[in-house]
Amino acid sequence: MRKIYLSILATGLAIAIYAQEFTLELFAQGLNSPVELVHAGDDRLFVVEQGGRIKIINNDGTVNPTPFLNISSKISTGGERGLLGLAFAPDYETSGRFYVNYTNTAGDTVIERYTVSGNPDVANSDGTILLTIDQPFGNHNGGNIHFGPDGYLWISMGDGGSSGDPNNYGQNKNVLLGKMLRIDVSGDAYTSPSDNPFVGEDGADEIWAYGLRNAWKFSFDSETGDLWIADVGQNLIEEINKQSSQTPGLNYGWRCYEGNDSYNTGGCDAPESMVFPIATYNHSGGRCSITGGYVYRGTTYPNLVGKYFFADYCSGEIGWVDGDTLEFLTDTNDFITGFGQDMSGQLYVVGSGKVQKIVGQTMDVTDPKHIQISIHPNPTTNFVNITSNKPVDEIALYSMEGKLLEKHINIQKLDLSKYPKGIYILTILSGKLQKTQKIIKN
């Protein structure tokens, strides 16, 4: 069966699906539920296994038999719990400090500091707990941690779980759930930076931003410093947020909004006070849960530069956001739980017991296979005319909710007169290539 990709940008601009722009190359395998991959400033990669182990992958893809760290006795497992995050201090080479995010045996989130031993491939087994956060349910733990461009430790926290954020933690600035936290861990204990938005104000000092559902993965653009957050949706929409990492106090809208759609707006602030995603996609085609990645800033593959990579856990598809365009580019048939980045900026895909490397084009070429389609007038009142530089196999019209309204073969005019005013999605399929365009009917 031919797979139809339908993706909707929050900006409402066109989405195009093109020919293959990259391939995946197996790098390491034999891992047990890997969820995260980071480097420590050298050519090793550290893979986090959800069951409580951190293993070292050498630059030839071999995995050290002895774990770098094993804290399996400290954690709760099952579902979304476990060892979830790892971040090496910016001064790791001299301090030997690194930090982990896990759910303890009570199911609560713990941020703990460890140090490397005299053997660079083995950590000391004793850690120092810096922060513990109560988790009322077993899901939506967030779990990602990164040091930002500012040198502080950033922590993504889910809304505490269940369904629909029943306690409205996402909008409650006095709890740490449903938030992006930012703390200073340079001392023996953590402190909250004085420029965090709610220091001295109503709200918890650790909070940088709020209104998140379950930001399972986030990252910083190593060139611009922008913060990218992939927030898992409730049951309809997955979203990608991009904001400056220097802008405090932003409200990303959950549980008032799921993506751009109202979810539960009772008692919510005006939407003008919130920031909305730069891109979204719905749950058509077996999609269900976004796994965020990184913006490629390596120098090996010019065609990948500036693209933000992400995946859907359920469908196994990998896509990117490139400027105003969201594209799904390949289907892996894997359960993708994370992305990784090595010291030279090359990207990796984590999931289904293995690590794969993203391999792009070594020359910056323009793909001549892109569909060139003209759709006019747009906005329209009744009809749109469709012209293409390639034979069109299929044209389909969808509602903004992803419902198929009609499908045609080889037509050049589409009649919208029977539909009410609003926004529609038109997909045009030519062979294996597809373009998707928003249509506004006035």
pTM for the full predicted model: 0.80
At residue 98, the pLDDT reads 98
Domain 15-359, CATH number (from 1.10.10.10, 3.40.50.10420, 2.120.10.30, 2.130.10.10): 2.120.10.30
Structure tokens at 11: 């900006």
Measured CA distances, 109 to 53, 112, 142, 151, 435 (Å): 17, 10, 9, 22, 43
Predicted local distance difference test score (pLDDT) of residue 429: 75
Rg over CA atoms, the chain:
22
pLDDT for the residue 396: 85
Nearest to 140 by CA among 156, 154, 160, 155: 160
Residue-level pLDDT at 324: 81
- 373-441 to CATH, choices 3.10.20.600, 3.10.20.30, 2.60.40.10, 3.30.420.40: 2.60.40.10
Pairing assessment for the beta strands 109-115 and 97-103 based on DSSP bridges: antiparallel
> 370 near 433, Cβ under 8 Å?
yes
Contact 169, 161 (CB under 8 A): no
> Is residue 390 exposed (0-12), middle (13-18) or buried (19+ Cβ within 10 Å)?
middle
Tens-binned pLDDT, residue by residue, of the chain (442 aa): 223 333 333 333 333 333 468 999 999 999 999 999 999 999 999 999 999 999 999 999 999 999 999 999 999 999 999 999 999 999 999 999 999 999 999 999 999 999 999 999 999 999 999 999 999 999 999 999 999 999 999 999 999 999 999 999 999 999 999 999 999 999 999 999 999 999 999 999 999 999 999 999 999 999 999 999 999 999 999 999 999 999 999 999 999 999 999 999 999 999 999 999 999 999 999 999 999 999 999 989 999 999 999 999 999 999 999 988 899 999 999 999 999 999 999 999 999 999 999 999 875 344 444 556 677 787 888 888 887 766 777 888 888 767 789 988 878 888 998 999 888 888 777 665 666 677 888 8
| Length of the chain (residues) | 442
Buried b (16+ CB within 10 A) or exposed e, 296-309: bbbeebebbbbbbb
Strand partners, 46: 38, 56
DSSP symbol at 284: G
Q: Where are the domains of the chain?
A: 15-359, 373-441
**One-letter amino acid of 84:** L
